[in-house]
Amino acid sequence: MPHVDIKCFPRDLNDEQKDALAADIADVIIRHFNSKDSSVSVALKQIAPEDWKAQVWDTEIGPKLEELIKKPGYSM
């Protein structure tokens, strides 16, 4: 049951663009995990740049750097 939780700076994406993003991500997950489409879920949460450090870096990135399979090219 793969779940992908995307956090990003605000983007002006319409529903069609969000659907395309979710479909592309689901395709990759299905291919790499040998999952069914019905097993994959994708969330998208937009975080204001001024809130990124407190809401994302300090809680999900910085403390879990060793768990990340792709580390960011920046630090805070």
Gyration radius (Cα) of the chain, Å = 14
Structure tokens at 48: 């204001």
Smallest CA-to-CA distance from 44 within 1, 74, 14, 76 is with: 14
Q: Which of 2, 49, 63, 72 is catalytic?
A: 2
- Position 60: which residue type? E
Q: Is 2 annotated as catalytic?
A: yes
- Catalytically active residues, by annotation: 2
